[in-house]
Homo-oligomer: A and B are copies of this chain.
Amino acid sequence: MSDFETDRRHAVSRVAALFDDMLQLPDGPESRLVEAMRYTALEGGKGFRPYLCYAAARLFDVDEKNAIHAAAAVEAVHCYSLVHDDLPAMDDDDMRRGKPSVHKAFDEATAILAGDALLTLAFEILADEATHKDLSKRLELVTTLARAAGMHGMVGGQMIDLQSPTLDLDAGGLTRLQKMKTGALISFAVEAGAILGAADEAQRHALTGYAHDIGLAFQIADDVLDVDAASADLGKTAGKDAGQGKVTFASLLGAERARDQAGLLVEQAIAHLAIFGPAADSLRQAAEFVIARHS
C-alpha cells in the first residue's frame, strides 16, 4: 500500500470517528436530521479532501488532532455540497457513492436541512479550541473557508454550472467555473494545513499552486470519467453532464487531449512540491491518484 493510500485511509477513519462522536443521535424527532447527516458524512466518501488537509498539515508537524478537526470541517462542507447538488432542483442525481442520494434515502426536505446543518457544523468545528489553541489561526480558517465555500467560491461555481447549458463556455470560462465549484474547496483543504502549520509565504504559495493544479486535473479527469464509465463502476449516474447539455473539458478538448492536459497539470502540481523534499511524497502520489482513477 502506498503512503498516499495509507494516509488517506487513516484520515478517513479519524474523521469518521470524530463525526461519529459529534453526530450522536439526539432524543427528539430531530434525530432524523442527524441520521441523514451521518448517512452522508460517515459512509462511503473517499476522503480525498480530508486527506489533503491532513497531509498538508503533517508537512509542518501540526498536531494530528488539530489537522483532523480541520479535515472534518472540509469534509462536512464537501458532503453538504454533494447533498444539495444531488437535489432534484439541482443536478437531480438519485445515486451517490453507490447508494441512494440523501433525498432518495430520506426526502428532499431532510436533504436540504442536512446540508444546511453540515455547513453550519463545519464552522462550529473550525471555531472550536480543539482545532487549534491559537485564536488567530481558528479565525483565519473560518474566514478562508467562508470565502472558498461562498458566493465567490463553491456556491457561485455551482450557480454557473447550473446555467452552463445556456452559457456556451469556452475553456477559460469552464476553468473559472471549475476553480470556483470544486477547486476552491480543494485549495482550502490544503491551505487549512498551511494555516495550522504557520507556513511561510513560499510554502503556502507552493501548496496553493499544487492545489490549484490538482483541482483542475481532478475535474478534467472527472469529465473524462463521466464520459467513459458505466453507472455501476462510478457509483453515480454516469454520462449525466453531457446528457444535460453541459460543456465539459472532455467535450471541449476531446477525451484524448483532456487526458493529456490532466497529465500535464499533475506534473506541474508535483513540481510545486519540490521545496518540501521527500516529506511531500504522499502528496505527490495523491496528485498521480487524481488522474489514475480513470484508468
Using a CB–CB distance below 8 Å, which chain A residues touch chain B? Answer: 23, 26, 28-30, 32-34, 37, 80, 84, 87, 89-90, 107-110, 112-113, 115-117, 119-121, 123-124, 126-128, 135-136, 138-139, 142-143, 145-147, 149-152, 155-160, 162-163, 167, 176, 180
Known: A127-B139, A150-B117, A151-B37. A160 touches B109 (CB 8 A): no
Asked if B117 contacts A115 (CB within 8 A), the reply is no
Q: Is the CB of B143 within 8 A of A139?
A: no
Give the Cβ gap from A80 to chain B, nearest Cβ, in Å: 8
Are the CB atoms of A109 and B127 closer together than 8 Å? no
State in angstroms the CA–CA spacing of A139 and B128 once bound together.
Answer: 8
Smallest CB separation, A158 vs chain B (Å): 6
Determine which of B110, B116, B126, B135 lies in contact with A119 in the assembled complex, contact meaning CB atoms within 8 Å: B116
Q: How many copies does the complex hold?
A: 2
Interface pair A113/B159, CB less than 8 Å apart: yes
Closest residue of chain B to A89 (Cβ to Cβ) is B108
Q: Report yes or no: A158 in contact with B113, Cβ–Cβ below 8 A.
A: yes
CB distance from A72 to the nearest CB of B (A): 14
User: How many Å from the CB of A69 to the closest CB on chain B?
Assistant: 13
Closest 10 CB pairs of A and B: A124-B146, A89-B108, A30-B156, A120-B150, A33-B159, A127-B142, A135-B135, A117-B151, A117-B155, A123-B123
Q: Known contacts A30-B151, A117-B151, A151-B30: does B127 contact A143 (CB below 8 Å)? A: yes
Question: A121 and B150: CB pair below 8 A?
Answer: yes
Closest to A112 in B: B84
B90:A121 contact, CB within 8 angstroms:
no
A22 (CB) vs chain B CBs: closest residue = B151
Contact A159 B32 (CB under 8 A): yes
Q: What's the minimum C-beta distance from A149 to chain B, rounded to whole angstroms? A: 5
User: What is the CB-to-nearest-CB distance from A18 to chain B, in angstroms, rounded to a whole number?
Assistant: 15
Q: Are A163 and B32 in contact (CB under 8 A)?
A: yes
A-B contact pairs, 28 of them (CB 8 A): A26-B151, A29-B160, A29-B167, A30-B156, A30-B159, A32-B159, A33-B159, A34-B151, A37-B151, A80-B116, A89-B109, A89-B112, A90-B109, A110-B162, A112-B112, A113-B159, A117-B150, A117-B151, A117-B156, A121-B150, A123-B123, A123-B146, A124-B147, A124-B150, A127-B139, A127-B142, A127-B143, A135-B135
The one of B120, B128, B162 in contact with A149, judged by C-beta atoms closer than 8 angstroms, is: B120
> Nearest residue in B to A116 (C-beta to C-beta)?
B155
- The answer to whether A107 and B89 have CB atoms under 8 Å apart is yes
Complex CA–CA separation, A28 to B26 (angstroms): 43
Give the CA-CA distance A180 to B28 in the complex, in Å: 11
CA distance A156 to B32 in the complex (A): 9
CA distance A136 to B34 in the complex (A): 29
- How near does chain B come to A199, taking the closest CB pair, in angstroms? 20
